[in-house]
A and B are shown apart, each in its own frame.
Chain A
């Protein structure tokens, strides 16, 4: 009797939502997913394959998708060339790394303090701020490029390091996800600390921060993707070549290769640069994916 019950349960839990193991009923999903995933993966594989192709394979006819004799030549070419304005490529890469790190740290600080206040503290404008932020979730920055440019220009932020960082810190999705995550922390924990004499800042540092690590990891990823991949800020707001980002450098490579001026050398280093630009996104996401998923459980938006 007991045994039958167990068997019955294991059958249920290996089919349906979130099964514990393999079940023949899952086969149809694999048959559907495998070709689709393979097709979607092709451009990603191409980034890898292309970056390691020697020149004769890059321009082979008929073109070959996969690399045959992989080489690091494109990468050494990339770092030995200078941009047209005489800035070494490593400078762009250095800028991108510094900008990404500073923005991630600042974004975590700015969003998590605000999220804690909006979730657990009482003040008059609390509801207003959160609902304005929720409306701003659907803000499309690209739509207001021009007034944004005028404001940044008016603030004298053109050609400064700050223009890379400060606009990226106002991230409605980040604040929203953090606030939803903090909502789940029971109020009793905070009340107990307050009775013990902890101030709001101490509660934030000692209790909230350690508990919201998954949400912080998620904010870090979203901020990283937004800043690391961005070429727009460098092209709109930065005239000094030494302050521009790696993503911007890559965009100049594709622009020159299309005119055919330095096609042969250009395509190899563009392929290498594309891989360097993409790879950190992938690695960071793989490392933090379980944290992201647990944050997303709280992402619900009530209309």
Chain B
């Protein structure tokens, strides 16, 4: 026994040593790199990756936050598609309408304004860029004060008073409480603040396009500024265009709380401003149906993912034009 153990031991020692030196070699070569990324990676896993995984898992369960989640298969998704009238009648159409206008609208507006700014000398360009960017610096909380005063429902509200004075309307309108105006105001307010990081990126991209390309294009027979944008500007700043598109996408869906902020209630009046994000909060934090809310989250994440694929296909480096 003793001998065999020591034999084993003797046999093991060089092996262990070799592995150890392999580890030391790895530590020397990649150790500092891993120690430098580790903090970010750990935080990323906890606060970004794990919530997505948990949302996926919970979406197959029934979970009321008190009892342990109970596996129920696809039932949440089936309920969402077949029985959730509010989702089908209000939330989904509202979200599609809001996203279809605010997403591409804000994006095209950002690009056009960045393009116009790029045609101006540095000082006026900087001043205008600051003005256009400043709405995106405001927070929902600070702006709630402003919007509630400007769109106040009685005759002392600024918009009502202005329109009454011009005789355009005869009596004050409950802007933020009436279903037919809430969505319009949500869209306008979000468009107002849509010149954010993506806008700055596209402005920087426009300024970096090699001016010789424009000269060459003129020789090649490009006639007007519009052709210039389509054939020279956009293709040469494709990476910034894609970055801007991704940022527009995120801020569109991230802006989902605006209806609740403006109207001051979740659900919004007659579900007029109800978006998927509000629906998730409604089920998660008001009704404590966490499993169902998670299923809605997964649907939202898939929507964002698909739209992102679309943006990548539009601006990917290969097969363009």
Contact = CB atoms under 8 A, between A and B. Distances in A.
A17 B33 contact: no
Contacts of B145: 47, 50, 250, 253-254, 270-271, 273-274
- The listed residue with most B CB atoms (<10 A of its CB), out of A143, A145, A228, is A143
A277 B139 contact: yes
A201 interface: yes
A32 interface: yes
B40 A175 contact: yes
A144 B302 CA distance: 12
A254 B259 CA distance: 15
B228 to A, nearest CB: 9
A281 B46 contact: no
B243 A299 contact: yes
A136 B50 CA distance: 12
A147 interface: yes
B155 A61 contact: yes
Contacts of B54: 144, 147, 150-151
Interface string A110-154: 110110111001111110010011001111111111111111000
A302 B168 CA distance: 50
Interface in A199-235: 199-201, 204, 222, 225, 228-231
Interface stretch (A77-85, A86-94, A184-192, A286-294): A286-294
A146 B294 contact: yes
Interface stretch (B1-9, B10-18, B118-126): B118-126
B206 interface: yes
Interface extent on B, as a size class? 35 or more
B130 interface: yes
B48 interface: yes
Given A144-B51, A166-B43, A301-B243, A251 B32 contact: no
A231 B200 contact: no
Contacts of B256: 142
Contact of B205 (A47, A150, A254, A297): A297
A107 B245 CA distance: 25
Contacts of A50: 145-146, 149
A19 B118 CA distance: 8
B156 A40 contact: no
B116 interface: yes
Interface string B279-321: 0110011000010011001001100110010011101110000
A47 B137 contact: no
B196 to A, nearest CB: 10
A41 interface: yes
Nearest to B69: A150
A142 B40 contact: no
A69 interface: no
B211 A16 contact: yes
B32 A26 contact: no
Interface stretch (B77-85, B86-94, B178-186, B246-254): B246-254
A41 B137 CA distance: 12
Contact of B132 (A40, A137, A200, A303): A40
Q: Which 6 A-B pairs have the closest CB atoms?
A: A300-B239, A229-B139, A303-B316, A114-B40, A296-B204, A147-B54
Interface of A: 14-22, 26, 29-30, 32-33, 36-37, 40-41, 43-44, 46-47, 50, 59, 61-63, 65, 109-111, 113-114, 116-118, 121-126, 129, 132-133, 136-151, 155, 166-167, 169-170, 172-173, 175, 199-201, 204, 222, 225, 228-231, 247-248, 250-251, 253-255, 257-258, 267, 270-271, 273-274, 277-278, 281-282, 285-286, 289, 292-294, 296-297, 299-303
